[in-house]
Amino acid sequence: MNGLRTQAEELRSLGYSYNMIREKLGVSVSTQSYWFKDKPFVPNKEVINRIKFGPIENGKRRHNERVNEINQLKELGMKEVGRLSKRDLWMLGLGLYIGEGAKTTEMLRISNSDPAVIKVSIRWLKEICNLTDDNLSLRLHLYPDNNLDTSMKYWQNITNLPASNFRKTHIDRRVNKIKSRRGKLPYGTVHISVISRGDPSKGVKLYRRINGWMSGGLKQIDSK
C-alpha cells in the first residue's frame, strides 16, 4: 500500500487529478482525498485540457446514447408491429384517411408530403377499396423554390405511376407562404384524388362507405 501511495503522491505532485490517478493506479477517489487533503494541487496541462473538453465529450456521449436509444426503441417498435394483415392495412389506411383525407365534399382525396404515407394510401385505395391505377389522379402542390421536373420524377418513382396519372401542378405563389415553407418540403405535397370512371361504387358510394368505416370505428372508441 505504501508503494501505491508513493506512486499516487508522485502523480499528484505532477498535477494529475483524482480521477486520472484512479484510472492509472486503481486507487479510489475517497482514499486519495484522505491522503492529499492537506496538500496543495496545481493541475497539469492534461488535466486542464480534460476539464476544458470534458463538457464537449460528455455532450457527445449523451448524444450518442440518445441516438442509440432512439434506434433501439424504433427497432423494438417495428418488431412489435410484426407483419400487417389485410385488416391491419384496412385500419391503418382508415386512420390515415381520418387524419389526412377530405371530408367536406363527397370526393375521395388524400394529401400528404410524406412518401411513406402516400405509398400506404395508394396501397390502401387499391387493395382495400378495390381501385386501379386508372382511378387515381394526382396533383403536385409545390412552392417557387421546388424544381418541377425533379419533384415530378420523385413522386412518379414513389407512387410507381406514370406521368399520365398526374394533373397540372399547382404552385403556391402566395408571398406570406413562401418563406415559411422554403426548404421544408423539397418535393412539395401530393394530392391523390379518386376518379370513379362512371362506376358509382368507386366514387360517391365508396366515399359514403368510408364515412361509415370512420363512424363505426370512432363510435366504438367513444362508447368505451
Distances (CA, A) of 145 to 60, 153, 170: 35, 16, 13
Task: Based on the fold, state whether residues 182 and 216 are members of the same structural domain.
Answer: yes
What grid cell was written down for 6? Answer: 508513493
Given 52, 77, 102, which residue is the final one in a domain? 77
Q: What are phi and psi of 211, to 5 degrees?
A: -60, -35
What grid cell was written down for 204? Answer: 360517391
Q: Is the pTM of this model over 0.85?
A: no
Give CA–CA dist 149/140, Å, rounded.
Answer: 11
Query: What's the pLDDT score for residue 87?
Result: 94
DSSP string of 98-165, one letter each residue: HHHB--SSS--EEEES-HHHHHHHHHHHHHTS---GGGEEEEEEE-TTS-HHHHHHHHHHHHT--GGG
Task: Based on the fold, state whether residues 73 and 183 are members of the same structural domain.
Answer: no
If 0-12 CB within 10 Å is exposed, 13-18 middle and 19+ buried, where does residue 151 land? buried
Domain coverage including residue 103? 86-222
CA atoms lying within 13 Å on the CB side of residue 65: 6
The amino acid that residue 59 corresponds to is G
Give the largest Cα separation in the chain, rounded.
97
Given 50, 77, 104, which residue is the final one in a domain? 77
Q: Which residue has the cell 394526382?
A: 138
At 57, which helix (H) or strand (E)?
helix 45-81
Task: Based on the fold, state whether residues 108 and 198 are members of the same structural domain.
Answer: yes
* DSSP type of residue 187: T
If 0-12 CB within 10 Å is exposed, 13-18 middle and 19+ buried, where does residue 141 land? middle
Task: Based on the fold, state whether residues 98 and 71 are members of the same structural domain.
Answer: no
Task: Based on the fold, state whether residues 68 and 91 are members of the same structural domain.
Answer: no
Given 42, 60, 77, which residue is the final one in a domain? 77
DSSP helix, strand, coil percent of the chain (3-state; round to 5): 60, 10, 30
Among 92, 87, 93, which Cα is nearest to 108's? 93
Query: What's the pLDDT score for residue 89?
Result: 94
pLDDT below 50 — which residues of the chain? none
* Number of structural domains in the chain: 2
